Amino acid sequence: MKAYFLDRYGKKGALRLGDAPLPEPGDNDVLVEVHAAALNVLDSKIRDGAFKPILPYRPPFILGHDVAGTVVRVGSKVHAFKVGDEIYARPRDGRIGTFAEFIAIDQADAALKPKTLSMAEAASIPLIGLTAWQTLVERAQLQKGQKVLIHAGSGGVGTFAIQLAKHLGATVATTTSTANLGLVKSLGADVAVDYKREAFEKVLSGYDVALNSLDGQTLEKSLGVLKPGGKLISISGPPDPRFAKEAGLDGVLRLVMGLLSRGIRAKAKAARVSYAFLFMRADGRQLDQITALIEAGAIKPVIDRTFRFDALNEAMAYLDSGRARGKVVVTVK
């Protein structure tokens, strides 16, 4: 099969298109023929080497975290799927590799594709959908009537999180550029702050939850938006000791994570709010719940551009430009 390999870590380096053996599914795996795969900032960060301490992949390896496709083989212990099923998934860490014609995925990580979506639309959902779900539903336990600030509302996670928060009954504020004000409002944002014209920390206050996907300065400024007892959750770092423990990292890395987040945790404590870093995990059952919301019309995919498989490096360059509204997808079949 054809696949894109990361041969060496390096900032904005190109992936190599080459041949790889067809994956051999384990007892609990489904072998999936890939129809579409989405690109994520996580792909860029892994390529650049930013996550080597947490995700020590050894080059060469196949990159890619989002997939939609058709099951062509099942392992002996697979009960959830059969040959011919259309599925979508975010394969678990250590078993990524959706930038390929085929991939073997643990059945626990996959879900039946929403019937209302095309393969390309379905591929755009898993990573951002699970990130938003685990942030807002699982960690923040966002309730009806609460107020949530979602940074970078026109990005992949932002476009999904706005819709999910509105479905949960929250009042949603977001930050975005002038060009994307219309998009975030169409997704349900009650307050859209144009970061080119206004400082969000000066116009927002009394929020219950803030979801940060941007830099450290934005993270610290978000503290002032939250009311006492509020929750600041970041998907862009810095990692905290709870994450290090849940990830099973060794003592040295736990110490490093504690040091990296010591400053923001101290400032959060002084502001009487909590701080947490979230690194999403694969979860097919949560994808099932997301599927139900999509099929009910509560959430719609937002895709900026779709590229052919042979133009994947061009798609990565477009993602790196930071101009994408929603997701960037490549069609494989």
Give one DSSP letter per residue of 171-186, joined into a string.
Answer: EEEEEE-GGGHHHHHH
In this prediction, residue 245 carries a pLDDT of: 82
Could you tell me if 51 and 111 lie in one domain?
yes
The last residue of one of the domains, among 277, 293, 310, is 277
- Do the domain assignments include residue 43? yes
In this prediction, residue 307 carries a pLDDT of: 98
- Do the domain assignments include residue 282? no
Could you tell me if 167 and 254 lie in one domain?
yes
Could you tell me if 232 and 267 lie in one domain?
yes
In this prediction, residue 253 carries a pLDDT of: 81
Could you tell me if 134 and 265 lie in one domain?
yes
Q: Where are the beta strands (DSSP E) in the chain?
A: 2-6, 16-19, 29-39, 61-62, 67-74, 86-89, 102-106, 110-112, 147-150, 171-176, 191-194, 207-212, 226-234, 274-277, 303-308, 327-331
In this prediction, residue 26 carries a pLDDT of: 98
- Do the domain assignments include residue 70? yes
The last residue of one of the domains, among 277, 293, 312, is 277
Could you tell me if 121 and 197 lie in one domain?
no
- Do the domain assignments include residue 284? no
Residue pLDDT tens, the chain, 333 long: 999 999 999 998 999 999 999 999 999 999 999 999 999 999 999 999 998 888 889 999 999 999 999 999 999 999 999 999 999 999 999 999 999 999 999 999 999 999 999 999 999 999 999 999 999 999 999 999 999 999 999 999 999 999 999 999 999 999 999 999 999 999 999 999 999 999 999 999 999 999 999 999 999 999 999 999 999 999 998 988 888 888 787 888 888 888 889 999 999 999 999 999 999 999 999 999 999 999 999 999 999 999 999 999 999 999 999 989 999 999 998
Q: Which residues contact 128 (CB under 8 A, 6 or more apart)?
A: 40, 156, 157, 159, 160, 161, 327
Could you tell me if 229 and 326 lie in one domain?
no
Residue 189: alpha-carbon gap to chain centroid: 20
Could you tell me if 29 and 66 lie in one domain?
yes
In this prediction, residue 249 carries a pLDDT of: 79
CATH number at residue 106: 3.90.180.10
In this prediction, residue 250 carries a pLDDT of: 81
- Do the domain assignments include residue 289? no
Could you tell me if 177 and 312 lie in one domain?
no
Number of domains in the chain: 2
Could you tell me if 89 and 18 lie in one domain?
yes
- Do the domain assignments include residue 182? yes
Could you tell me if 236 and 307 lie in one domain?
no
In this prediction, residue 257 carries a pLDDT of: 83
Q: Tell me if 281 sits within 8 A of 134, measured CB to CB.
A: yes
Q: Tell me if 84 sits within 8 A of 71, measured CB to CB.
A: yes
CATH number at residue 231: 3.40.50.720
Could you tell me if 14 and 79 lie in one domain?
yes
Count CB atoms within 10 A of the CB of residue 139.
16
Could you tell me if 95 and 135 lie in one domain?
no
- Do the domain assignments include residue 287? no
- Which range marks the domain in which residue 210 is found? 128-277
- Do the domain assignments include residue 208? yes
